Amino acid sequence: MSDVREYRLVLTDGEVFEGEGIGADPTGGIAAGEVVFNTVLTGYQEVITDPSYAAQMITFTYPHIGNYGVTTADDEARRPFCRGVVVRALARRHSNWRSNGDLDSFLRHHGVPGIGGVDTRRLTRHLRDSGAMVGAFGTADEMTLLAAANVDPGTTGLDLVDLVTTREPYTVGSGTRRVVAFDFGVKATMLRHLGKIATVTVVPARTTAAEVLALEPDGVFLSNGPGDPEEAGTIVTELPRLLGEVPIFGICLGHQILSLAMGGHTFKMKFGHHGGNVPVYDNRTGRVEITSQNHNFAVEVGSVPGVTETHVCLNDGVLEGMVADGIAAFSVQYHPEAGPGPHDSRYLFDEFASLMDSHPVNAP
């Protein structure tokens, strides 16, 4: 047992959790970030590699993580952007025909530190009661870790999109339509679904409206991403120049950015939605969808002028979807690509295709 690294996780309110080091050693001996919890039962690799987790530490509520290993086919981005992972029990052996490695080695390879052996039930209940907060873990003493947690800004007021966006445009898919996708932290599964209905040009987050229109797209896609939507860069001022010019579909951060561009308001949630079993009610059909979600911020109900609010979260009433009145634009807060998660909402990609077909902008 000489190789066991005894760690502590200390939150900004002074709450302490004991555990042992997994994954990579933290840079400087301490890892810090906003601590959130995710309730998925499977899909830990997709969660860890989701760029929307930039600046955050992911607590997995499911107690046994890593049992089926990892495979490069499940990566959602070129690398993880999270600050760390927190688990109850990390599987020391993995078993799955698809796997080509184990989770601990995966974390070490990508420089992601973690802490295992944590009472994640107590931690999750504490975050639910007190709200998501910054934490720090490592081998340092409690006061040093508390100081490190208190100087980390978390996710509020930060432009984290610039950290995760692509630096150069690239193309994926082979569909007959043409879509320009803003990369605010786009997931690979999202692009695979878009690639079935269109040839997709993925562009950096700070691409201007004029540059987008010059590509003559049939539609514009606003991706998921991390951080405060009010700090997401120039897109909020550029997007109004695209509204009414080309059909638009937004997911997660894209939903929040669309709402801001149309005059709405966003707010920081107490502990966010992070999981694969969130019930969403469709006001139009009365249908309930079980959805995959990952967001710390949300759109204020009733704040966006000129839209019909289409979806609501049954857990807490958060606005989950909207359609612009008289403009070819719609968005949802949840993740229809479901990587990981249920497939109830994948029809939204077909709805985007239908919207582009019914509002042609490049007809001869």
Q: Above 50 in pLDDT, residue 111?
A: yes
**Helical spans, DSSP H, in the chain:** 44-48, 103-109, 120-130, 142-151, 161-164, 188-197, 209-214, 235-238, 253-261, 347-358
* pLDDT value of residue 339: 87
61 phi, psi to nearest 5 deg: -75, -30
Closest CA to 136 of 230, 7, 299, 310: 7
Q: Convert the pLDDT of each residue in 68-77 to its tens digit.
A: 999 999 999 9
Q: Convert the pLDDT of each residue in 263-285 to its tens digit.
A: 999 999 999 999 999 999 999 99
Per-residue CA distances from 64 to 40, 43, 90, 186, 312 (Å): 11, 12, 6, 28, 31
Q: Above 60 in pLDDT, residue 328?
A: yes
Average pLDDT over residues 153-180: 94
* pLDDT value of residue 158: 86
Average pLDDT over residues 238-253: 97
Closest CA to 188 of 362, 69, 72: 72
Per-residue CA distances from 188 to 29, 97, 202, 257, 335 (Å): 32, 22, 11, 20, 12
Active site residue 82: no
Find the catalytic residue in 34, 46, 252, 274. Answer: 252
* pLDDT value of residue 362: 65
Find the catalytic residue in 34, 238, 320, 337. Answer: 337
* pLDDT value of residue 267: 96
Q: Above 60 in pLDDT, residue 363?
A: no
Q: Convert the pLDDT of each residue in 222-234 to its tens digit.
A: 999 999 999 998 9
Active site residue 337: yes
Q: Above 90 in pLDDT, residue 361?
A: no
Residues in Cβ contact with 144 at an 8 Å cutoff, skipping those fewer than 6 apart: 30
Percent of the chain with pLDDT over 90: 94
Count of CB atoms within 10 A of residue 362's CB?
A: 11
Q: Which domains does the chain have, with CATH numbers?
A: 6-151 (3.50.30.20), 161-358 (3.40.50.880)
- Indicate the burial class of 122 (C-beta count within 10 angstroms; 0-12, 13-18, 19 or more): exposed
Closest CA to 53 of 65, 42, 44: 44
Percent of the chain with pLDDT over 70: 99
| Average pLDDT score, the chain | 96
Find the catalytic residue in 193, 274, 295, 335. Answer: 335
* pLDDT value of residue 1: 41
User: Token pair for residue 68?
Assistant: 């089926």
Q: What DSSP element (H or E) covers 64?
A: strand 64-65
Cross-strand pairs, 275: 293
Q: How far apart are CA 40 and CA 37, in angstroms?
A: 10
Orientation of helix 347-358 relative to helix 188-197, angle to 10°: 40
Confidence of residue 364 (pLDDT cuts 50, 70, 90): low
Rg (CA), the chain: 20
Q: Is 203 helix (H, G, I), strand (E, B) or coil?
A: strand
Closest CA to 53 of 90, 73, 83: 83
Q: Convert the pLDDT of each residue in 286-304 to its tens digit.
A: 999 999 999 999 999 999 9
Average pLDDT over residues 110-129: 98
